Amino acid sequence: MTVFMTTAFLALGSNLGDSRGTLDAAVRRLRAEPGLRVLRISSYYKTAPVGGPPGQALYLNAAVAVEAAHSPQALLALCQRIEHQHGRQRSEKDAPRTLDIDVLLYGDEVMDSPELTVPHPRLHERAFVLAPLAEIAGSVTHPVLKTTIDDLLKAVSPHDCEKTPPSRPLTRGGLPELRALVTGSTSGIGKAIADLFEASGATVLRHGSRLADLREAAQVDRLAEDAWAGGLDILVCNAGADTLTGALAKASYNDKLEALLDIDLKSTMRLARTLGGRMKVRGRGVILTIGWDQAETGMEGESPQLFAAVKGAVMTFTRSLAKSLAPEVRVNCIAPGWIRTAWGETASAEWQERVRRETPLGIWGLPEDVANAALWLASPLASFITGQTIRVNGGVV
């Protein structure tokens, strides 16, 4: 079924509590919504309050471009749910708030109803809205005023709109002065893990197919030697064959199976056994593998057959390796569920609805959800955890 997506622009603001953390969480929640794609996010701008009671704290404001299958009314309802989840209380006009999300533009649509007016009726008057919006949509034309956002910004005084530095990733737990190898870390889940490990103090050896082709045993062994030569504390076997969106998407069933066996299973076993054995002799280390949350329960279809067989093998191998390497080395498996990687970004409306229906939390997981679990498992906070499969899947059981 063809789904028509509309580009819309949202304004976010907060001046109560941890405003930066609130805006970060709101953007993350938008990214996780089925049927919605976050396209661009502006910088955060510190701005003076306009109207309302005196003595308010400064606001933090941002603009977000989204591509939505939602109607304008459904998009507004989503924004209001997210506001409510972050403690928004509607009292007097222009009062301080934990979170405010306004629909500014919805394509070229013009509508005026008691519930929603688009374009936002005060969009062209507010520098604290126009400054972040111009950063991501300066050339977009206001459908009523027939003027670009850049020109609207020039017509107002952008006083008290100060761009702030970007957010820093959560680093709780920390991996100070540790060295990690993360395979398949040029995009998706692997990149999110590598980014978070680095932000938490680790030195990360990032791996992509150009560094080592994991289908070739000799290159796997060379990667292990290179990683160990610099000292290695953490191994994350994340690399996987992309049989859904990559070059293998049109390959035969047998060719997909061979690629998954070589990259997802054999290279994981080879790296984990080689490096895990050395970690055990040295007396310390952490190994993480990547499984699939439905490998044990099963799912219909050709691709799930392949993933269940291969990822199920990774999960059972992890449990056995954990017993072999204990007590010196901890070995755990992360089993992601519906995570919004490259395939999830372009999945059909039927799959978007299936994610919502089958996940108790009702949203996509994000690569950083898996990264947060990996950081915890790699850190001393999980020092009594080994041989486990941790499902990062929004509550699917």
Q: 103 with 78: CB under 8 angstroms? A: no
Quick check: is 210 catalytic?
no
Quick check: is 102 catalytic?
yes
**Active-site position among 20, 31, 37, 97:** 97
**Active-site position among 31, 37, 88, 391:** 88
Euclidean distance between CA atoms 374 and 368, whole angstroms: 9
Quick check: is 168 catalytic?
no
**Active-site position among 20, 24, 37, 102:** 102
Task: Please report, for residues 12, 17, 219, 258, the alpha-carbon distance to residue 240 in angstroms, rounded to integers and kept in the order given.
Answer: 36, 41, 16, 12
Mark 309-322 as b/e (b = at least 16 C-beta within 10 Å).
ebbbbbbebbbebb
Residues in the chain: 397
Euclidean distance between CA atoms 243 and 23, whole angstroms: 35
**What phi and psi, each to the nearest 5 degrees, are found at residue 46?**
-85, 125
**Active-site position among 24, 31, 100, 369:** 100
**What stretches of the chain show up as alpha helix (H) in DSSP?**
19-31, 72-85, 127-137, 149-154, 188-199, 217-229, 253-260, 267-282, 302-325, 342-346, 349-358, 367-378
Catalytic residues: 88, 97, 100, 102
